[in-house]
Structure 1
Amino acid sequence: MIIRPTPNWFRMLFVWHGSVLKAIIPQLAFMTLVSVLAMYSHGRIFGEKIPLNTTPFTLCGVALTIFLAFRNNASYERYWEARRLWGNVLIAARALISQFRNYVPASSAPYENRRIPRLLIAFAYALKHQLRHSDPRADLERLLGFEQAANLTARVFQPIVLLDEARRHLAALNRSGALSDTKLWMLDRQLNDLGAAVGGCERILSTPIPFAYGVLLHRTVYAYCALLPFGLIDSIGFATPLICVFVSYTLLALEAIAGQISDPFGLAPNNLALDSMTCTIERAVLELCDEAMPPPVQPGPHFQLT
């Protein structure tokens, strides 16, 4: 995720880091080459004039724009839902810790008062690593100890296992009389919200946008951009490369952005900053527990927050 002050209108024209321009430079170079060849050959291939004008590109351009808008809306909906789910994780974690510390006396459950917060923080980190297919062992060892971290690495759905352990601790407090049935129900509701957030994230991760949509859009965009110079050469002449590269930049950039945000849990510049989000959850939980907080995650080079 790019976190930077918004530059003025003039500097925005030349922003490099944070845009997708550097990801599509090879494609733009290819389109430039095709446009220059079309200009110097006057729209001919192997001596034969390509019988194209602006009319079919106008009609195809409208259809292509509608399809690109559909793809971008579908991709952004996945990104927005992922961000909302992680926001729910933060809300539920704060509520659970606040309720637990105020409804369960520390003197009656000193172990659980230390254990439950660590389980919630470990849950957030385990969820992040599960979504990014990375190794969670370092974070789990830091929060839970070497033995339990080693046991968790053999489990498939580690966040759910951690929620289950937290629920077992709450059930034990209920059986001992330290937590009433009503308060247990309130705390268990927050655990259910956390479990629902995990399920929502797993749904996004396991069901990408149908591959056929991406193939169709990819082929259509490249065919449109490659044929465009031959349809414009008779009407705009030497300006053909400039206009064709500009149109190609717009279409290819939209496709690239949609491709990035359709997988919101990755490490691309426009993906969600899961490192920062998990650190925020840890800081929120520790602050409610009156414990020292780690520093917030700062943007790296080029204003990118991971």
Structure 2
Amino acid sequence: MIVRERPSGIRLFFAMRGSILGQIKWTLAANVALALLVTLSHGRLFEYKLQVSALPFSLIGLPLAIFLGFRNNACYDRYWEARKLWGDILLRGRSLARQVLTLIDAPTDATAEAALDERRRMVRRMAAFAHALKHQLRGTPDVDGQVARWLDRGEGDALASVSNKPAGLMLRMAQDLASCRRQGRVDSMLAASIDATLSGLTAAAASCERIKNSPLPFPYTLLLHRTAHLYCFLLPFGLVDSMGALTPVVVAIVAYTFFGLDAVGDEIEEPFGLRANDLPLDAICRTLEIDLLQSLGETDVPPPLEPVDCCLM
């Protein structure tokens, strides 16, 4: 996610970090080059004058802009829903730590207190759950052991063979909650409230999976993509008679707008990736880590992640 002060005035025109221009620059350059050739030849191709009326471009341009706007709204809805879901995960993760540490009684056995306290295991599993969900949504391997370091060695090895690791961690937390209930360390009504928090986390993870696995219909995206390119590359022939030498300038502005809208939709349609404008899942997981460790009384906690070159991952 791009994190920077909003530029103002003339600086707005020269802001490149987070701009969509880097993705469309070659297509835009080709379009402007074609407009220059058409202007220099005054719309002639092999000595034949191409008579193209500007009317079709007026009829197509407005609906194209409207449909590109509709698509971008749909893509932003996916992006914003994904951000709200991760905000919900952060909220429920903090609530889970508070509930587990205050509603479940500590074990009486000193050995259990040191090594087998289900409360601490559940809180640490919450951090593992966030990292496991992050890697699952991004489709990235956990090469740094971000999940395993929050788990007991045996549990980490067992989790490696589980295909849906977030669901596996939720199951283990529910099993620990049931164990505390059998030991009489938590009242059944209080256990139900903790289980509701676990269910909310599972629902948020499933909703994130729905966003990842259900992209916008490909034919709709392809139709707009093709139409935008055909429109912009044919536009010089429709403008050259009326605009003359200004044709490349007008084409550049129109092409930047249409190509940019098309690329912005592609950029935010999949919010869980590793691109500059995707959600900062690493930073969200780090924030949750800090909160969970401090709830356990830890003082050696990692610092929050800071933007690097205006980009927070």
Could you say which TM-score interval applies, normalised by the shorter chain? over 0.9
TM-score by length of 1: 0.96
Q: What is the CA–CA distance in structure 2 between the aligned matches of 1:255 and 1:155, rounded to whole Å?
A: 38
2:117 equivalent to 1:95:
no
2:287 equivalent to 1:280:
yes
**Bigger CA drift: 283-292 or 257-266?**
283-292
Amino acid at match of 1:10: I
| Cα 1:174/1:127, change in 2 over 3 Å | same
TM-score by length of 2: 0.94
2:133 equivalent to 1:127:
yes
Q: What is the CA–CA distance in structure 2 between the aligned matches of 1:19 and 1:70, rounded to whole Å?
A: 21
2:232 equivalent to 1:201:
no
Q: What is the CA–CA distance in structure 1 between the aligned matches of 2:191 and 2:225, rounded to whole Å?
A: 52
Per the TM alignment, residue 150 of structure 1 is displaced from its structure 2 partner at its CA by: 2.6
Per the TM alignment, residue 82 of structure 1 is displaced from its structure 2 partner at its CA by: 0.6
2:116 equivalent to 1:114:
no
Q: What is the CA–CA distance in structure 2 between the aligned matches of 1:221 and 1:98, rounded to whole Å?
A: 52
2:235 equivalent to 1:228:
yes
- Secondary structure of the residue aligned to 2:254 is helix
- Secondary structure of the residue aligned to 1:24 is helix
Per the TM alignment, residue 287 of structure 1 is displaced from its structure 2 partner at its CA by: 2.1
Q: Which residue of 2 aligns with 1:298?
A: 306
Question: What 5-or-longer segments of structure 2 have no aligned partner?
Answer: none
Q: What is the CA–CA distance in structure 2 between the aligned matches of 1:164 and 1:281, rounded to whole Å?
A: 20
Amino acid at match of 2:6: T
Per the TM alignment, residue 54 of structure 1 is displaced from its structure 2 partner at its CA by: 2.3
Q: Which residue of 2 aligns with 1:14?
A: 14
Q: What is the CA–CA distance in structure 2 between the aligned matches of 1:290 and 1:230, rounded to whole Å?
A: 70
Per-residue CA distance 1:93-116 (angstroms, 9 max, x = gap) = 111111111112335473123211
Amino acid at match of 2:23: A
**Bigger CA drift: 279-288 or 234-243?**
279-288
Per-residue CA distance 1:28-49 (angstroms, 9 max, x = gap) = 1100111011101111222222
RMSD: 1.3
Q: Which residue of 2 aligns with 1:167?
A: 174
Amino acid at match of 2:149: R
Per the TM alignment, residue 283 of structure 1 is displaced from its structure 2 partner at its CA by: 1.4
Matches within 5 A, 1:61-100: 61-100=61-100
Q: What is the CA–CA distance in structure 1 between the aligned matches of 2:292 and 2:277, rounded to whole Å?
A: 27
2:159 to 130, 152, 161: 152
Moved beyond 6 Å, runs of 4+: none
Amino acid at match of 1:66: I
| Conservation of the 8 A alpha-carbon contact between 1:265 and 1:271 | yes
| Conservation of the 8 A alpha-carbon contact between 2:82 and 2:211 | yes
Per the TM alignment, residue 53 of structure 1 is displaced from its structure 2 partner at its CA by: 2.7
Q: What is the CA–CA distance in structure 2 between the aligned matches of 1:41 and 1:6, rounded to whole Å?
A: 42
| Conservation of the 8 A alpha-carbon contact between 1:174 and 1:184 | yes
Q: What is the CA–CA distance in structure 2 between the aligned matches of 1:45 and 1:216, rounded to whole Å?
A: 28
| Conservation of the 8 A alpha-carbon contact between 1:126 and 1:140 | yes
Per the TM alignment, residue 134 of structure 1 is displaced from its structure 2 partner at its CA by: 1.1
Per-residue CA distance 1:215-249 (angstroms, 9 max, x = gap) = 10111000000011111111110010011011101
Q: Which residue of 2 aligns with 1:5?
A: 5
| Conservation of the 8 A alpha-carbon contact between 1:53 and 1:234 | no
